[in-house]
């Protein structure tokens, strides 16, 4: 049986980060985590692009443009959505997650969801670099692995 697996080597990969400015005190930790992962995995600074957008809801339209350009091995969306008194946060998270999948399927470029969704600020802080790790770091790892899997197919 032949098995194809991706490795965690970013050398030679070009990756775009799309980060929201909303909840920037959280998102900046995700950006730092993603950059740290890319560098630790052997990626070069020149092969990483960061694009800023207003909020998480705006990430998919930019991610689609970047993925469709075929200039990037993967795209990572980074944002933080904290549930409030209305279902608005849930709608944003569902919409962005669905869009990331659709973009990846349409373009063949991995679009990884690094948008933290939390019920409260404490949970969000935990997922952006404290007790539960850094979702930006994990999203970059997934992007690198997926890009390498696709390159081997």
Are 68 and 105 in contact, with CB atoms under 8 Å apart? no
Find the mean pLDDT for residues 93-98.
93
Domain spans of the chain, in order of start:
15-148
Question: Which residues are designated catalytic?
Answer: 88
Superfamily of domain 15-148, CATH level 4: Lumazine/riboflavin synthase (3.40.50.960)
Q: Report yes or no: 149 and 4 within 8 Å, Cβ to Cβ.
A: yes
Mean pLDDT of the chain: 93
Higher pLDDT, 88 or 13: 13
DSSP labels for the chain? Answer: -------S--TT--EEEEEESTTHHHHHHHHHHHHHHHHHTT--GGGEEEEEESSGGGHHHHHHHHHHTT--SEEEEEEEEE--SSTHHHHHHHHHHHHHHHHHHHHSS-EEEEEEEESSHHHHHHHBTSTT-BHHHHHHHHHHHHHHHHHH-
By the 8 A CB rule, do 76 and 83 touch? Answer: no
Q: Is the pTM of this model over 0.85?
A: yes
Give the tens place of pLDDT for each residue, 46-76.
Answer: 999 999 999 999 999 999 999 999 999 999 9
Helix H or strand E segment including 20: strand 15-20
pLDDT at 73: 98
Q: What pLDDT is attached to residue 91?
A: 83
């Amino acid at each position: 049986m032949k098995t194809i697996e991706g490795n965690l080597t970013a050398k030679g990969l070009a990756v775009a980060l799309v980060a929201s400015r909303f909840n920037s005190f959280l998102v900046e930790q995700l950006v730092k985590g993603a950059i740290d992962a890319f560098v630790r995995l052997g990626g070069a600074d020149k092969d990483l692009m960061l694009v800023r957008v207003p909020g998480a809801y705006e990430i998919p339209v930019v991610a689609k443009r970047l993925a469709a350009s075929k200039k990037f091995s993967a795209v990572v969306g980074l944002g933080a959505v904290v549930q409030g008194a209305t279902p608005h946060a849930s709608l944003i998270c569902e919409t962005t997650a669905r869009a990331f999948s659709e973009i990846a399927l349409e373009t063949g470029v991995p679009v990884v969801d690094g948008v933290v969704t939390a019920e409260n600020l404490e949970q969000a802080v935990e997922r952006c670099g404290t007790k539960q790790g850094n979702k930006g770091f994990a999203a970059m790892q997934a992007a690198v692995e997926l890009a390498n899997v696709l390159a081997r197919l």
